[in-house]
Amino acid sequence: MNCVPKYRHLRQRLAGANLYLVGMMGSGKSSVGRILAQQLGYHWLDADQVLGAAAGRTIPTLFAQEGEEGFRAAETAALRQMGQWHSCVVSTGGGAVARPTNWGTLRQGVVVWLAAPAEVLLKRLRQDPTPRPLLQCPDPAQRLKELLAAREPLYAQADVRVVQTGTMTSEAVAAAVLEALPTALQTPPRGGAQGPPTDQ
């Protein structure tokens, strides 16, 4: 895949290391991930799609049938699989950071936290028809704030953090990530291993 010329040097510095986007549901990991992949000439992978394809079920169905613990175990297996590929932008699930074992995979690449205030996340989620199993409760706003408070210290372990405002477009967020990446690459990147998936 072709890289945008202005980011060719950045792609060379990444040396095939994956970018793992972390953050809460509604933080734009999928939309920003697609743009980053296009700019860098990388493959884009949605962890939930890879997980759903491997399980042969949708995420809400898997969650309902296996519970959160079963879902998290399957998520870890999917992340481990993606960690064997290189030159990928991976949009992870919002709770992927909660399992310490997942950080073994994430740390093989560069971890990018797409941060956003709870109010921005909630507004986006209300406009998004995608089912969110963890928000199927009487007070989704309060549940979202609780999840954010619990996960923020974990997201903060990322190599790069981009704080979004409610007016930032996905393109603007992606540009901010690309601008911040060189600082995170002061040390040699942790490269991937095998080749990227061929069907992307």
* Residue numbers belonging to the annotated binding site for Mg(2+): 30
| Rounded Cα distance, 183 and 162, in Å | 13
Integer-rounded Cα radius of gyration of the chain: 16
| Rounded Cα distance, 24 and 117, in Å | 10
Binding residues for substrate: 48, 72, 94, 151
Angle at 96 between CA 13 and CA 42, to 5 degrees: 30
Within 10 Å of residue 58's Cβ, how many Cβ atoms?
12
Binding residues: 26-31, 48, 72, 94, 132, 151
- Strand-strand pairing, 88-91 and 43-46: parallel
Pick the closest to residue 43 from 33, 52, 53, 51 (CA basis): 33
Binding residues for ATP: 26-31, 132
Question: What is the distance, to the nearest Å, from the Cα of residue 26 to the centroid of all Cα atoms in its chain?
Answer: 11
